[in-house]
Structure 1
Amino acid sequence: MRGFSHVDTWVFDLDNTLYPASCRLFDQIDVKMGEFVSRRLGVELVEAKRRQKEMFYRHGTTLRGLMTEHGVTPDDFLDYVHDIDHSAVPANQPLDAALHALPGRKLIFTNGTVAHAEKVLARIGITHHFGDIFDIVHADFIPKPEMEPYRKFVRQTGIRPGTSAMFEDIARNLLAPHELGMTTVLVTSPDNHDAEHLNRASGQEHIHHVTGDLAAFLADLGAGLKGNQSLARST
């Protein structure tokens, strides 16, 4: 199993990775996406949800499907679906403490928007840990799991993939990081139904670690790295 002693940069997905899927925040976004598709395509809500899910699975995001198949302007979609109540996201002091103890640079790489990410991070109480947020706009609206946004993320942030770790809730979104040489961590939850569906269809060879408790995983990781540093100083 690949370790973390070489890692100096920690890259995190946002939705259902840094906050638990059980708070159902993404359910609000899912409802708004269905409404948007229903109005845009002129179909009933049930049919709109079916088409929305098809686009998500086929293109990586609903937005990419709408842009590719229906010529939707991204700002209209993003403004509508992220107009939600973020109060469902709970504060997470253990995660805050674990991130504080983790040495190195910390970044966000999300298929969402900077504005949405900033609201989520503020609710969790971890904004101060992250030096940069790379969102779907920075990615030219090309979503994970396509390789192109990962390459642009590397260029824009200046990270070294070989000394970086990527945390994600969707297994296929770790294929490109693995190919680039990053250490990969899958964050799982039984409440994350869309990811569960995708993850069953994905191989696991590109995943180095799996955790169902991100805060505890990072806390153990930080303690281990600190212990290694102390041991190195004493020898």
Structure 2
Amino acid sequence: MIDLSPPRLDHVTAWVFDMDDTLYPREQGLMNLVQARINAYVVEAVGLDPDSARVLQRQFLDEHGTTLAGLMANYTIDADHFLHDVHDVPMDSLEPNPRLAEQLMRLPGRRFVFTNGARDYAHRVLARLGVSDCFEGVFAIEDGDLTPKPAPSAYRRMIERFGFEPRQAAMFEDTPRNLEAAKALGMATVLIGDGHGKVIGDHVDHVAPDLLDFLTDLSLPEDAAA
């Protein structure tokens, strides 16, 4: 059952965050720019018209987790070129968020980013938000040999890389199905946003419209001792 009460995650010592539309509000529109470049790439690579390319992209997302994974399974493409091309977007729409940095640094234990985005792009986003120093590590799509969430193997590799106990971890995501493997591994799960209209199942422990608000309201052991 989804818990809508004020959150408590007293057992958590490892905090894992998706990046796009999680660390910043979807309304800031960065992913719209990335999606436009992905659509253009599919048009060029596959030879479809834009509407058909969008349909194919949605199919790839549903079946493979990312457009890149779908393209690699069905076509011969240069993955490095794809990642560079589709993530080559301006960061002007992102707003630096010092309050978020404060709340992230308040979390006890270790903090990580786990994204299906490219490594260089991830570091650009974190720098723009002003939260780079809040995280011990970033696990990007290249770190999983291009295997994306929601594949369980991607989560296991991420956990192995950072070396934490999943039963003492929490994962924050804007996509409900990307929390399924996390929950199966024993992690607490927090959905940020409305789930993009998808069904929110029992694998989601908490739902919050906004990450900053959730972290601000989060009760930590140090609060009780204060």
TM-score, scaled to structure 1: 0.90
CA distance in 2, matches of 1:119, 1:186: 24
| SS state at 2:15 partner | strand
CA distance in 2, matches of 1:106, 1:227: 19
User: Are 1:107 and 2:112 counterparts?
Assistant: yes
Residue matched to 1:227: 223
Report deviation, 1:224: 3.5
Report deviation, 1:60: 0.7
Contact 1:101 1:219 (C-alpha < 8 Å) held by counterparts = no
CA distance in 1, matches of 2:77, 2:205: 37
CA distance in 1, matches of 2:44, 2:214: 42
Residue matched to 2:154: 149
TM-score, scaled to structure 2: 0.93
One of 202, 207, 211 as aligned partner of 2:208: 211
CA distance in 2, matches of 1:107, 1:140: 18
The residue identity in structure 1 corresponding to 2:183 is H
CA distance in 1, matches of 2:212, 2:83: 29
Contact 1:107 1:132 (C-alpha < 8 Å) held by counterparts = yes
| Structure with greater proportional helix content | 1
Residue matched to 1:92: 97
| SS state at 2:144 partner | coil
Ranges in structure 2 where 5+ consecutive residues have no aligned partner: none
The residue identity in structure 1 corresponding to 2:187 is M
Q: What is the percentage of aligned positions where both structures have the same residue?
A: 37
Contact 2:208 2:214 (C-alpha < 8 Å) held by counterparts = yes
CA distance in 1, matches of 2:25, 2:221: 25
Larger RCO, structure (CA 8 Å, separation 6 or more): 2
CA deviation vs aligned residue, 1:140-188 (integer Å, no higher than 9, x gap): 1111011001011111110110100000000000000100000000001
> Number of residue pairs matched?
221
Residue matched to 2:27: 22
**Which is further off, 68-77 or 106-115?**
68-77
Contact 2:8 2:220 (C-alpha < 8 Å) held by counterparts = no
Report deviation, 1:93: 2.0
CA distance in 2, matches of 1:183, 1:160: 12
CA distance in 2, matches of 1:171, 1:71: 30
Contact 1:139 1:153 (C-alpha < 8 Å) held by counterparts = yes
The residue identity in structure 2 corresponding to 1:196 is H
CA distance in 1, matches of 2:105, 2:143: 27
CA distance in 2, matches of 1:107, 1:43: 38
The residue identity in structure 1 corresponding to 2:130 is G
Ranges in structure 1 where 5+ consecutive residues have no aligned partner: 190-194
1:31-50 to 2 correspondence within 5 Å?
Answer: 31-50=36-55
Residue matched to 1:192: none
CA distance in 2, matches of 1:56, 1:86: 24
CA distance in 1, matches of 2:203, 2:54: 31
| SS state at 2:147 partner | coil
One of 78, 83, 86 as aligned partner of 1:73: 78
Contact 2:25 2:210 (C-alpha < 8 Å) held by counterparts = no
| SS state at 1:108 partner | strand
Residue matched to 1:7: 12
CA distance in 2, matches of 1:227, 1:50: 49
User: Are 1:175 and 2:183 counterparts?
Assistant: no
